Structure 1
Amino acid sequence: MANYICELSKRVERQHVRYNNRYGIAIAGDLYTPKGMEDTKKYPAIVVGAPYGGVKEQGPCVYANELAQRGFVVLTFDPCYMGESGGEPRHVSSPDLFSENVSAGVDYLGLLPFVDREKIAAIGICGSGGFALSAAQVDIRIKAVVTASMFDMCAAARGGQTAEQIEKRKEELSLKRWEDAQNGTPEYIPSFPEDAVTDIPDEMQGIWREFFEFYATERGHHDNARGNFTTTSDMSFLNYSLTDYISEISPRPILFIVGEQAESRFFSDMAFEKAAEPKQMIVVPNCNHIDLYDDVTKIPFDRIEIFLKETLK
């Protein structure tokens, strides 16, 4: 299904592509290229990951559409088990698999004759910010990382809970596996309605209200992005850390972009503290978490362009 949340620039071409990740799962992607590319030139390239639960037609298309106009080849994709990508059962999530999806995009880009293999970067929006950092920790082909409203899904899984609360959650998830095994399919409970709505429930506040504003309304609604994953997917996030080796990305640079008003800002602050130089942080004024998904008046594309062209020159 199409339903892209932004209009494609007349200066950009978009082509649907398919390729496999390391586990042999087919990944559905969109390749954005500047119109009028020179046949003999090799271009810098970027793989863009969607917010956790999002698909390529949402935030990634906004970034790809803009950056392709600035001379980059850009790949967006649906994570495995989601959207138009392969993987059964649907809506399964894993920090390892989702980080692997970023490296699989690098695989694909590096095989294109018009891409310079030494000039490939990764951009991760929200949850994909953590996955992009995790991928770059071990995949040295990723020469730079940009995160926007970075959300560390593994840290969030434990998020301020006591040891007793975490133990209770493990028990709930473990017993849920018995139910899933008996039913023959894992439980999946969507977070957002099937059709776009206009009203946001009054009781929904904070960052969850922001998520609802994007995913449940015409602003960002997409049939392939109803939110949440199979219930037992949380087990792998409780048992994994995304940024333990973030300092090993150095000397490759990282650019963190956060909204001044974003409740999620502390994730970027913590990762920035752990990261080694070179690293930069851009705090966007009058900006919340989801504004960095799609608001081109707030996403600092000029700064992103400068950062990537200086890094990949």
Structure 2
Amino acid sequence: MPLHANSLTFSLAPEVTRTPVRYRNRYGIEIAADLYVATDLDESVPHPAIVIGPPYGGVKEQGPGVYGNELARRGFVAVAFDPSYNGESGGQPRHVSSPDIFAEDFSAGVDYLGTLPYVDRELIGAIGICGSGGFALNAAQVDPRIKAVATSAMYDISRVTRNGWRDSQSDEERRAGLEGIATQRWADVDAGEPALTPVFPHDFKPESLDPVTAEFHEYYVTDRGHHPRSVGGFTVTSMLSHINLGALAHLQDIAPRPILLITGENAHSRYFSDTVYEQAAEPKELVVVPGARHIDLYDRTDLIPFDKLESFFTENLAPVASTDRVPSHART
């Protein structure tokens, strides 16, 4: 049976409450998100909170909800969002991809969490899954309100767009790609709407696909992770922003705030996490999950190291005693 648009791809824990929320980023785009809290959360005291972004092409009802559900069970306030132009979030034209705006969406999540009287504004972290891993790091580079950042099965979308898979693209190939996008812009002008990169098909046919694409389709096309708002395609001309502006150029600026990088032993994307780990300043940690593939870190709760995520955020989102601080619950 086809999944209803308002359905989750996982089971909500009975001790967790999920509430749809809306707020705007600094570009004025309305962000659609789900707030996850423990049903018995004591709202009279401030709590640590986490903003969670989806895999590239994914929506909040998939991986972010899996993480939000589990972290809420462990006492965190969590908000899982749809990126601008995608899912239920606003923005026209649909399915634009922007490294700047997608990073801003994390900061907008921090803005929202900071309005909740039971969230401590000094104790907010971020998790980026797959492509959102790069965007979460981009946000943390310039937003010191993100006190700790974790990535899971990280993809650096801008890096692969500019340099090709495993940095295999030559300068000549890059220039040819720009010529192709320029041609597509004229086609978009003439058509009156932008063309999309390939979207997810209706049927899972792994025998006709390369291994990486087959793995993504195993999640997004089958009942395992399919959601009607997760279409997979982005406007072709979105690639220009990634090529020109999307580099993780300031990783060192995240320090002394901590970075946790989670990847799978068998993840095709592992090299992204390895590279960031090499380039980032301390404190940083790389966790390699034995036997895990890339997509397994979207939803396999038996493989996702939630104990590690809990300890990482508990340690790094711990209250600092100070007579100068005003508790969040005292704000009006």
Runs of 4+ in 1 over 2 A off after TM superposition: none
Contact 1:127/1:151 (<8 A) preserved = yes
For residue 261 of structure 2, give the secondary structure of its aligned residue in structure 1.
Answer: strand
Contact 1:188–1:231 (Cα < 8 Å) also in 2: yes
Mapped partners of 1:67, 1:96: distance in 2: 27
The gaps in structure 1 that reach 5 residues or longer are none
1:67-146 matches, within 5 Å, as 67-146=71-150
Given the alignment of the two structures, is residue 251 of structure 1 paired with residue 256 of structure 2, yes or no?
Answer: yes
Name the structure 1 match of 2:244: 239
Determine helix, strand or coil for the equivalent of 2:208.
coil
Q: How far does the alpha carbon of each residue in 1:205-261 deviate from its partner, in whole angstroms, 9 at most, with x for none?
A: 222111111111111111111102011111111112331101110000000000000
C-alpha spacing 1:39/1:263, structure 2 compared with 1 (3 Å) = closer
Q: Is the Cα–Cα contact under 8 Å of residues 131 and 242 in structure 1 kept in the other structure? A: no
Answer whether contact 2:54 2:62 (CA < 8 A) is retained: yes
3-state SS of the aligned residue for 1:144? strand
Q: State how far apart, in whole Å, the 1-side matches of 2:7 and 2:16 are.
A: 17
Alignment check: 8 A CA contact 2:128 2:136 kept: yes
Match of 2:45 in 1: 41
Aligned residue number for residue 328 of structure 2: none
| Letter of the 1:96 counterpart | D
Deviates more, 1:180-189 or 1:120-129: 180-189
Task: Tell me how far apart the structure 2 counterparts of residues 169 and 102 of structure 1 sit (CA, whole Å).
Answer: 29
Does residue 22 of structure 1 match 2:22?
Answer: no
SS in 1 for 2:35: strand
> Which amino acid counterpart does residue 271 of structure 1 have in structure 2?
V
Deviation at 1:200, TM superposition (A): 2.5
Among 151, 172, 176, the alignment partner of 1:168 is 176
3-state SS in 2 of match to 1:202? helix
Tell me, in whole angstroms, the C-alpha distance in 1 between the residues paired with 2:254 and 2:273. Answer: 15
Cα distance in 2, alignment partners of residues 100 and 33 from structure 1: 23
Identity of aligned residues (%): 54
The Cα RMSD (Å) is: 1.0
- TM-score, scaled to structure 1: 0.97
Q: 1: distance between equivalents of 2:212 and 2:263? A: 14
The aligned runs of 1:258-277 (5 Å cut-off) are 258-277=263-282
- Alignment correspondent of 1:2: 6
Contact 1:200 1:213 (C-alpha < 8 Å) held by counterparts: no
Check the 8 A contact 2:263/2:273 in 1, yes or no.
yes
> Which one is further off, 238-247 or 78-87?
238-247
1 CA distance for matches of 2:174 and 2:114? Answer: 41
Matched residue count: 310
CA shift, 1:32, in A, is 0.4
- In 2, distance between residues paired with 1:261 and 1:125? 16
Kept after mapping to 1: 8 A contact 2:43/2:117? no
2:16 aligns with: 12
| Residue ranges of structure 2 left out of the alignment (5+ in a row) | 319-332
Of the candidates 298, 306, 309, which is equivalent to residue 301 of structure 1? 306
The alignment partner of 2:223 has SS state of coil
1:56 to 54, 60, 65: 60
Report the counterpart of residue 327 of structure 2 in structure 1. Answer: none
Q: 3-state SS of the aligned residue for 2:245?
A: coil
In structure 1, what residue type is equivalent to 2:39? K
Question: 1:201, 1:265 → 2: CA distance?
Answer: 22
8 Å contact kept, 2:102–2:135: yes
Following superposition, the deviation at residue 60 of structure 1 comes to 0.5
Deviations 1:144-172 (A, max 9, x none): 00100100001110222111110100000
What TM-score comes out, normalization by structure 2 length?
Answer: 0.92
- Displacement of 1:189 after TM fit? 4.1
Deviations 1:12-66 (A, max 9, x none): 0010000001100000000001111213111100000000110000000100000
**Deviations for 1:277-304, whole angstroms, at most 9, x for unmatched residues?**
0000100001110000000000000011
Q: Structure 1, residues 42-92: CA drift from partner, whole Å, max 9, x if none?
A: 110000000011000000010000000000000011111111110111011
Provide the secondary structure at the position in 1 that maps to 2:146: coil
